[in-house]
Each structure stands twice: as C-alpha cells, then as structure tokens.
Amino acid sequence: MALDRLDDLRTFTRVIELGSMSAAARALRLSTNAVSRRVMRLERDAGVRLLHRTTRHLALTDEGRALLGRCQRILAELEAAEQELHPVGDPIQGQVRMVLPPAAAKPELLDALGRLLEDHPRLNVQLQIANVGLDRLSAGVDLAVHVGPVPQTSLVARRLATVSWSLAAAPAYLERHGRPHRPADLARHRCLRFLGDRPQAEWRLVDRGGREVTVPVGGNFESDDSRVLADATYAGLGIGVRPQFELASAVAAGRLEPVLRGYVFDRIVLHALLPPGRIRLPRVAAIVEILRTTLAA
C-alpha cells in the first residue's frame, strides 16, 4: 500500500471521527462522492476492506481499525513537526476530543479548562462523560482518562493521579438507619452499588494497617452511572462510595458524613491514554497537564 496519499489518509480519518461520509465531506469542503472515492482508493491499495457500510451506519473492520491508529499517529506527528518547523501564532489551537469518567469531571477541572479556553480562543474542546472501554479511542478521540491498571495496548499512557475512595452517607440517611461501627455492619445497610455485568455483592476495604477486609453488601438501589450513584448518596438513598477529594468539601458543607473512618478502598491510579504522537501536540499536552494538576488535587 502506498502511504504517500496523505489526503486519502486524512479523509479516511475524518470519516471515522465525524461518523459519516457526508459529515467528512462538509468538513473537508469536498463532495460526498470525492470522499467515498478516496476511501475506496485506500481500500484498493491496501487490498482489504476498511469499512463496513450500510445506508445508516459505518463501522471499522479490524483492518480499518489498525489503519486508523497508524493514520492518527502519522497525522499527529506531521502536525507536530509543522508546528515545530513553522510556528505560526498560538500553538494551542485546534480541536481536542476527550472522554472522562464522571468522577473526573471535577469543578476544578472545568475551571482550569475555562481559563485555558479563555487564554487560547482558537482552541476547541469536546468533552464526553462516559465510562468507556479503550476502543473509544479508535473513534477519533484524542485522549481518555482510564481508571485502574492499563492493559496491553498500543496507546500511550501518561500517569495522572492516584485517587482514594471512602464510604459516606447523607446525615438524613444516618438519622433514619443508624451508623455502621464495623465493616460487618454494612450487611444490614442500604449500600449504593455499581450495576455492572455481575451483581456487586461485596466491597473490599483496607484498614489503617493495610489489612484487607471483604464484606457482603446489599441494598435496594443500583446504577451503572457513577453520577447517579453520587446523587443518590447526597439524596440519602444509602451509603455510597465517594472520592476523598470530594468528600472533604461535602463534609465541610454538611451534605455528607464519613462512614467507617478507619477504612478506605484500594487506591486507584488514573492514566491519560492517547494514540501515539498525540502528546506532542501542544493543545493535547496542555490538557493532559490540566488533568494531572486538577485530578491530583
């Protein structure tokens, strides 16, 4: 396959990022037929199908997904090289697409992003709040915050912060149901649990001595959205799990009270995951630095 077709590579990347041939055509100021011809030329040169096409949907084939990762790396490296060789105006400009889990969208982060956008008016940020897998980065996302250990991946990982989580409840809940004094007491309380592929039937806590305690938990409210679980905790629906940076301000405001002060959950490491080459772009590096400073606070 000839990789000197940069216009074709850019077009293919824009089709995936924008989700359709017509949207890519509008962004590139081309006809839809011209966009389609460029993609078909890539497929012809590669000798494989890159996209599954229907009248309403485009989906990457395995070969298309592999090519997209290389396209993103090539185009990011070219853009970074052009900026280094021929700096013109503000280097922090253009679009950055990122995905954050709900708990990472702190007010401090939004404040910092607001200042960055104010200082660099040609920067555009698209922020999606979702608990997503790594495959989201194959759909044109520049960076995603990943919670927990980083699996084997071709993506570049940048460590951002380590976050601790604790148990908390609204004063109204504790007035109605009492306060647990030891981990085993959680079995008779309404625990707000994450709704995943399997029922969350236990919590693993760590005491001040580093000893792990596994306790059964139940309750009558579950959700697959951590924002909803946060709101349910504040609303007094049960005992919830909140990050310690949030809990400190909530306790000071009288909205939450800590539960089982001597126990926490294992610390969770947050990483920024980026396609290769993205971190060299000034606009992406600036946002990664904001994530590092605000999530560590």
State pLDDT tens for residues 16-45: 877 788 888 888 888 989 888 888 888 888
Radius of gyration of the chain (CA): 23
- Residue 40: CB atoms within 10 A of its CB come to 14
Split at pLDDT 50, 70, 90, the class of 169 is very high
Give the mean model confidence (pLDDT) for residues 110-121.
95
Secondary structure (3-state) at 108: helix
103-114 pLDDT per residue, tens: 788 888 999 999
52-85 pLDDT per residue, tens: 887 677 888 888 888 887 787 778 777 777 766 6
Strands (DSSP E) found in the chain: 51-53, 58-60, 94-100, 123-129, 143-147, 156-163, 165-169, 193-194, 202-207, 212-216, 222-223, 240-243, 257-259, 263-264, 268-274
Nearest Cα neighbor of 76 from 230, 245, 282 is: 282
Split at pLDDT 50, 70, 90, the class of 87 is low
222-247 pLDDT per residue, tens: 998 888 999 999 999 999 999 888 88
- Tokens matching residue 186: 């959680």
**Residue 140 pLDDT greater than 70, yes or no:** no
Instruction: Write down the pLDDT at residue 250.
Output: 93
Instruction: Write down the pLDDT at residue 1.
Output: 46
Split at pLDDT 50, 70, 90, the class of 137 is low
Give the mean model confidence (pLDDT) for residues 81-102.
78
Q: Are strands 202-207 and 240-243 parallel, antiparallel or unpaired?
A: unpaired
Instruction: Write down the pLDDT at residue 239.
Output: 98
**Residue 2 pLDDT greater than 60, yes or no:** no
Instruction: Write down the pLDDT at residue 134.
Output: 55
**Domains, the chain, ranges and CATH?**
1-88 (1.10.10.10), 89-153+272-297 (3.40.190.10), 165-266 (3.40.190.290)
245-296 pLDDT per residue, tens: 888 889 999 999 999 999 999 888 899 998 877 888 889 999 999 999 998 7
Give the mean model confidence (pLDDT) for residues 137-160.
80
